[in-house]
Structure 1
């Protein structure tokens, strides 16, 4: 489970396990820097993840490479980076897709906190050499589906939700050298860790309003094999959302303290 401690009288959750290159910064220090947010559509938002980051004191540096925004050459000025989902595929030949996958080498090289959500996780997996592909029987995960944390996942965070929200038709292999954190049914790889980088096949970012938009604008996808009917999305949210929201907050608290304290000191000068 996360290790708890107190900094400035506040409870702070820390990740155990892997040794960092330098002492980790307290959340109060990390909050001086924004989080880089990579989105893929004009109307996309960071949803509940963005709300949680703002509540922790972070600004959000939102970039949309698909529409011409550049990605930074270093993450020295950011507390971390999150690459969100989108309707495109990590296998698409579009220039912005290739550039994003190549750019992931920056946080990996600098050992900075990185999170990929759905498409972002697939891009991370591809950068790490894993294959991204549709389900062999054409099945999808659209709606709530069960996941099972592995021993490594439970060592990272004890209280995982037993169902999480999905919206995807492709999955990925576990990258070589990565740790499997959570597994599923039709798409076995649901969450993984590689150093300071994490990939989630599911969508902890989705708010109630986003769920309305997705199930309205993307209603035709609800006919895909394996997809849940629209009313199940909202009925299941009433059951599972509290646990998923609490887990997300605990994860983000621990993820952000993976930023080296030495880098924070340099950034503050």
Structure 2
């Protein structure tokens, strides 16, 4: 029987990327619901797996983007039910807030390819596949470790880069789902942010060419392993 995976998407180019393959191999039919446009609650409630993707807004910007209130509630219900959920970047921050942690602007932007330092728990998890590999960072916010969560990875600017909450909730601040062959969409879509941060898209493009394939392969393997042990 086909299983259902619903991805909550905030901007069109930040999609499931290279995760489509391991999802299909694990028997999941992937569909998207668009945050701020579609009704999220019913789609999330019926899904075997929910993936909450990234986006260029802060989880704390609920006055400017009221749909975040409902999205946090959807994520919280999913977590309380112990149903499988994966959060990426903004998705991870939504999970953190839903679990009672604080998310706020960090000490600086983390944009580009760089490795994460794995905690002991991270080395004993599917994240072990990322050991020593540069991953794609694209965020300026930082989150606390939620109560009861297990720290999996960190960086100097982001002490909480990944965490789990039980076997069925995984949060990643960084991107291992991004398709390196579509990095140009990221460079175009986030052009204003790159310019404001003084970052050269040519350097990011070159890093995607240098590191993207290895990171994508590790990202596919990470999700496949997590699905095999943590999702129905």
Structure 1 residues 213 and 74: alpha-carbon distance in aligned structure 2, compared to 1, 3 A threshold: closer
Q: Secondary structure at the match of 1:71?
A: helix
Q: TM-score, normalised to structure 2's length?
A: 0.87
* Superposition TM-score, scaled by structure 1 size: 0.76
Shift of 1:44: 4.9
1:104 is displaced (CA, Å) by: 1.1
Does residue 1:199 correspond to 2:168, yes or no? no
Computed over aligned residues only, the root mean square deviation of the Cα atoms, in angstroms, reads: 2.2
**Partner SS for 2:170:** strand
Q: Which has the higher contact order (CA 8 A, sep 6+)?
A: 1
**Which residue, 41, 50, 57 being the options, matches 1:88?**
57
Matches within 5 A, 1:148-167: 148-157=117-126, 158-161=128-131, 162-167=133-138
Q: Secondary structure at the match of 1:212?
A: helix
The answer on 1:223 being equivalent to 2:195 is yes
Q: Distance in 2 between matches of 1:44 and 1:217?
A: 10
Cα shift readout 1:162-210 (whole Å, capped 9, x = no counterpart): 3110111111111122111111121121111111211111111211343
Cα deviation, 1:20-58, whole Å, max 9, x if unaligned, reads xxxxxxxxx6xx211111011356532222343234332
Separation (CA, whole Å) in 2 of partners of 1:204 and 1:155: 18
Shift of 1:214: 1.6
Other-structure match for 1:253: 224
Identify, as 1 or 2, the structure richer in helix: 2
The answer to whether 1:147 aligns with 2:102 is no
Q: Highest Rg: 1 or 2?
A: 1
Q: What's the CA shift for 1:256? A: 2.0
Q: 1:202 to 1:43 in 2, by over 3 A?
A: closer
Please state how far the C-alpha of 1:221 moved relative to its aligned partner.
1.8
How many matched pairs? 226
Establish whether residue 114 from structure 1 lines up as the match of residue 80 from structure 2: no
Q: What is the distance in 2 between the residues matched to 1:185 and 1:38?
A: 29
Counterparts in 2 of 1:44 and 1:247: CA distance versus 1, 3 Å: closer
Alignment match, 2:15? 45
| 2: CA distance, partners of 1:80 / 1:217 | 27
**Match among 29, 32, 44 for residue 59 of structure 1:** 29
What is the deviation of 1:123?
A: 0.4
Residue 105 of structure 2: which of 110, 134, 139 is its match?
134
Aligned-partner SS, 1:112? coil
How much does 1:237 deviate? Answer: 2.2
Q: 1:130 to 1:35 in 2, by over 3 A?
A: same
Contact 2:14 2:54 in 1 (8 A): no
Residue aligning to 1:72 = 42
The answer for unaligned runs of 5 or more in structure 2 is none
